[in-house]
Structure 1
Amino acid sequence: MARPKGSGKPAHQRRTEQVTFWVTPSERARISANAERAGVTLSAFIRSVALGKPLRQKPHVQAGELIRQLNAVATNLNQLLGHAQNGSIDGAEHIEHVFRRVTGALKHWTSDEAAPNTIAPEVITLMVHEGTRLNGLARQANRGEHVPEKQLLSVLHDLTATLRPFCP
């Protein structure tokens, strides 16, 4: 059974009240068009305008995929960093460096300053490829298997090169 929507939020943040007001068909069309242009739902648009808060656009589809890939890479780097800090693999300083670059890219692409139309689909495909290579190393380390430092450094180098277009 699915849990009720919004039940994971603290009680003071749950939206439990509904506001209803009447508009003409042309007003609704204008409000809907403005919300669509802003890249948010009708409810989010009206709430934002009514409360005087800045609009937070949803990421563009390509930016959404990039953010998903960057999150996956950050997760794998975090796992590898844990193994490096425990001494089971070498290269902690290199992993930390790439992790900082990935988190910087994530901050940029989840901010309002990112321009999603600058993302080429083939570059995201390359990010997926490098992320898959990194995931293989993380899985290897998670199983307690030896991760050759040369192989790790090669993947981190290629990943850094792939990240360049996404780092501000």
Structure 2
Amino acid sequence: MLFVSIWSSFAIALYLLNAEKKRKTYSVIPDFKPWKAFVLSCTAFVGGLNSIIGVYYRVVWEDGVSPLALDYIKITIPVAVTLAPLGSFLGSHFHRKVLATFIYVLESLAVIGFLITKPTTELIVVGACIILFGFFFFSFISRAGARIMKGIQEPAKTESERMLDI
């Protein structure tokens, strides 16, 4: 429920972001420097280690993982290792709005699947609150990103362009 709610709120915020007319988009990430790529790679590596250590801790030390959950873990490893790069490759060839539509459809199906399980009213209310909070969070990130991009683009103006703005 938590996973579905968080990513549903992301899908809603993404839909509203894509609904903006004449929103500026970029073919390459502006101001992306090698040190940022290094930080991103290190973050991914540490996140992977965290997942491995977390699974090891739960399986070996706590012994609180059901055999079905272990089977899911065994399946997710080869799927993630093979299909994540394939998805990234295919995603680089689709228009951003096509990819966003995939997200809308998949998240709608996830919410419907969640509701088909007939959750309690309390669980539905908690899920709705998470969706609402997540929507505001992702909207805030979107606005912050727009402000950051404005700050990156302003220094790129020449002195004569700045004079015209006054």
In the superposition, the TM-score normalised over structure 2's length comes to: 0.29
In the superposition, the TM-score normalised over structure 1's length comes to: 0.29
